[in-house]
Amino acid sequence: MNAATTRWTVLAEQECSDLWARGRGPLLVFTFSLLLSAMTYLSATNQALNFLEHREAVNLTLQVALAVGVLLTLVVSADAISGERERGTLESLLLTPVSRRSIVGGKLCAAMTLWFGCLIVAVPYLWALGHGVAVTRQAVVLALGVGTTVAAGLGCLGLLISAVAGSNKTSLATSLLLLFVLFAPTQVPALPKTGFGEALVRINPIGSALHYISTVLVSRQSWTHDLSYLAAPVVLAAVAGSVLIAAAPRLVSLTGGVSAR
């Protein structure tokens, strides 16, 4: 293992430790577990929700897990650089013998652990709701593949916003507004049935991911059916990740925006 790799892993471990041992990670994931517990209780006791077919209940739980996991990943990413600027800790980090690419890589790694934390919490609920129809394995694989791709793409986007934003408040507000814009169309059930609606879903990385998950879990289509819906999440992760890595030396600075470095 070369020195650059060692420094990157050390930084990633430090960022994860700050988030989970001394940060908000456990509280956020615990709050998420309470949300899933409330949903499971309502699905078992509420007459309207109790008539949900097992696959629909699993799909709903997985979509909630994806929504919350992506939200937490994006918020932590949006705070990663602009937040350190305002707290006065970014300068000491920049003085360490670690490249700026390693810095953004470590921060992205830490943010992604929140997504995996939400997924781990969701697995028992997915099993409880779907073991009767043997759909739990499908749901977990979809979460690992599709959910992780979406979380990584938005995590990279959050870091980019955090790097160029003039303040932490601006970074968080912009990121949350972006997430709202992406999630809002998913709440219109009839949207994919129209030509314009289908196009809108396909270019939306969250909407296309949720549509693909529903197609597999609820409609029982094959994994290759409508695989083109995954193009948007994959493109987002690839493009945002590439831009973040390429521009990291100029983006990670003590002032917002793109430096001349």
| Residue 190's pLDDT band (cuts 50, 70, 90) | low
Is residue 189 helix, strand or coil? Answer: coil
Look at residue 260 and tell me if it is in a domain: no
* Cα 88 → chain centroid: 27
Q: How many domains does the chain have?
A: 1
Look at residue 259 and tell me if it is in a domain: no
Q: Residue 54: give the domain boundaries.
A: 3-251
Q: What is the pLDDT of residue 40?
A: 75
Look at residue 189 and tell me if it is in a domain: yes
Taking the C-alpha atoms of residue 25 and residue 120, their distance in angstroms, rounded to an integer, is 13
Look at residue 60 and tell me if it is in a domain: yes
Look at residue 50 and tell me if it is in a domain: yes
Contact predicate 50/44, CB 8 Å:
yes
Look at residue 86 and tell me if it is in a domain: yes
Look at residue 162 and tell me if it is in a domain: yes
Taking the C-alpha atoms of residue 78 and residue 176, their distance in angstroms, rounded to an integer, is 9
| Residue 210's pLDDT band (cuts 50, 70, 90) | very high
Span 36-58, pLDDT tens digits: 888 877 766 655 555 457 788 88
Look at residue 102 and tell me if it is in a domain: yes
